[in-house]
């Protein structure tokens, strides 16, 4: 893939549309699916599950959730597959749009950083499969699965953190340059 093509293609309005669709789905899933889980299953949240690390901790979480809580969290994880696409489109779109405003090496880094949300999504998918494996077979899963799920979650959040930090830093640098050039020209 020729990374330089990303400077112009697809057009900004297409990226903006994809970013807005990603944002809409991201917000809808957060509000309609994920926001109710802590109220319906108050003891342990999904992050506790993702970062349980051991089979004994998973057993503790499952005991607190009960079968109804496990079903609710499994449904949330199924929704997370669509959520991965939404946060991927949202963050990748934001990074690409701001990267197009940059120049030189920073722009090149930004073009590559556009892929970070999708790379994080790969680790999120692996994590989801592992979490569903434990939820669907609560008494017979391998004790290594919680460890691998925790590693996948750590990698996912680390990659997303790098992408978000790059976007915010680049956005504020671009905004500062824009404001200073407007002040200078007036």
In the chain, how many domains are there?
A: 1
pLDDT for residue 166: 97
Q: Which of 148, 144, 105 is nearest to 126 (CA)?
A: 148
What pTM does this model have?
Answer: 0.93
Supply the pLDDT for residue 40: 86
Give the residue among 22, 121, 28, 119 at the shortest CA–CA distance from 81: 121
Instruction: Dump pLDDT digits (tens) for 172-182.
Output: 999 999 999 99
> What pLDDT is stored for residue 1 in this prediction?
61
The domain containing residue 171 runs over which residues?
3-185
- The candidate with the shortest Cα–Cα distance to 108, out of 94, 96, 121, 123, is 96
CA distance 104 to 126: 35
Distance CA 4, CA 67 (A): 51
pLDDT digits (tens, 9 = 90+) for 105-144: 999 999 999 999 999 999 999 999 999 999 999 999 999 9
Mean pLDDT by 10 residues, the chain (186 residues): 89 97 98 91 92 97 95 97 98 97 94 98 98 95 97 98 97 93 88
Cα–Cα nearest to 124, from 169, 163, 77, 164? 77
């Amino acid at each position: 893939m020729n990374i330089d093509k990303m400077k112009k293609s697809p057009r900004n309005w297409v990226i903006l549309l994809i970013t807005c669709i990603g944002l809409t789905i991201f917000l809808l899933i957060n509000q309609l699916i994920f926001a109710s889980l802590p109220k319906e299953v108050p003891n342990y949240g999904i992050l506790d599950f993702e970062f349980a690390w051991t089979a004994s901790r998973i057993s503790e979480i499952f005991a607190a959730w009960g079968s109804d809580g496990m079903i609710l969290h499994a449904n949330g994880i199924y929704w997370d597959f669509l959520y991965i696409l939404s946060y991927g489109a949202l963050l990748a779109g934001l990074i690409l749009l701001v990267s197009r405003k940059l120049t030189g090496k920073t722009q090149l880094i930004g073009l590559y950083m556009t892929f970070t949300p999708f790379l994080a999504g790969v680790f999120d998918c692996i994590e989801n499969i592992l979490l569903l494996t434990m939820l669907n077979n609560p008494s017979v899963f391998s004790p290594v699965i919680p460890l691998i799920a925790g590693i996948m979650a750590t990698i996912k959040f680390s990659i997303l953190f790098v992408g978000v930090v790059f976007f915010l830093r680049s956005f504020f640098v671009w905004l500062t340059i824009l404001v200073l050039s407007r002040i200078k020209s007036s």
